Chains A and B, each alone.
Chain A
């Protein structure tokens, strides 16, 4: 089945550090990928839609200069949390759907747990 790989699975770093998270579709091409954030005991909140070869679309209230998204190929999207602070600590999850198959489900990575000290 479709597999989405996310790396790293866990990051612990100091305040002010920038952190890059990778999301790869391993056996399919994805024109569109999605980035979510999940705080403890809460549901997933969509942050942005990552579009291959063009700018990402951010949800209301999400700072695009804070959360940089690059979708340079059909199998890779990256999320960079710039100058991270403790309030950015969260579980970040990506998803992807095979291009050209709009009714097929999105598949999710296993998430990245980010802890900012």
Chain B
């Protein structure tokens, strides 16, 4: 029951910016968008999250459209170690309480090439 859609794969040149799109057209007003990535045979790694405003941290930038129906994760200078599956996630409320769970879609397989 993933609430986001992402392209299945993309290639990126080392040293260039990688722009990863995500559509979340059914997002509600108070739901955050989270980005994780998973390098082969490891647990997912948190990258960034946001609600309305654009966000930036040491790993990436997150650009959210004004209508919040889509967002773009930007890796400013991709390196070979950024090769991973990137997941864009909108949380799903847990019916039994006020907590949330993450529903993972297929993500985008990003391959950074030298």
List A residues at the B interface (Cβ < 8 Å): 4, 6, 32, 34, 36, 43-46, 49, 57, 91, 93, 95, 102-103, 105-111, 113
* A45 (CB) vs chain B CBs: closest residue: B104
The 10 closest A-B pairs by CB, nearest first: A108-B43, A44-B104, A105-B46, A43-B104, A108-B44, A111-B43, A110-B43, A93-B43, A109-B43, A32-B99
Residues of B within 8 A of A36 (CB): 104
A91 shortest CB reach to chain B, Å? 8
What A residues does B44 contact at CB under 8 A?
Answer: 44, 93, 95, 108
Does A102 lie within 8 Å of B100, measured CB to CB?
yes
User: Which of A4, A93, A106 neighbours the largest number of chain B CB atoms within 10 Å of its CB?
Assistant: A106
Q: Are A34 and B32 in contact (CB under 8 A)?
A: no
Instruction: Known A-B contacts: A43-B105, A107-B46, A111-B43. Give 20 more (CB < 8 A).
Output: A6-B43, A34-B101, A43-B104, A43-B106, A44-B44, A44-B104, A49-B101, A93-B43, A93-B44, A95-B44, A102-B98, A102-B99, A102-B100, A103-B49, A105-B46, A106-B46, A106-B102, A108-B45, A110-B42, A111-B41
Residue among A46, A57, A105, A113 facing the most chain B CB atoms (10 A cut-off): A105
Interface secondary structure of A, over-half rule: strand
CA distance A102 to B32 in the complex (A): 11
Chain B interface size, as a band, is 20 to 34
The A-B contact count (CB < 8 A) is 55
Question: Which residues of chain B have C-beta atoms less than 8 A from A34's C-beta?
Answer: 101-102
Binding site for A on B (CB under 8 A): 32, 34, 36, 38, 41-46, 49, 51, 87, 94, 96, 98-107
**Chain A residues within an 8 Å CB radius of B41:** 91, 111, 113
Nearest residue in B to A104 (C-beta to C-beta)? B49
Q: Which residues of A contact B43 (CB under 8 A)?
A: 4, 6, 93, 95, 108-111
Chain A residue numbers with a CB within 8 Å of B104 are 36, 43-46
Q: Which residue of A has the minimal Cβ distance to B100?
A: A102
- Bound CA span A93–B87, Å: 16
Q: Chain B residues near A44 (CB, 8 Å)?
A: 38, 44, 104
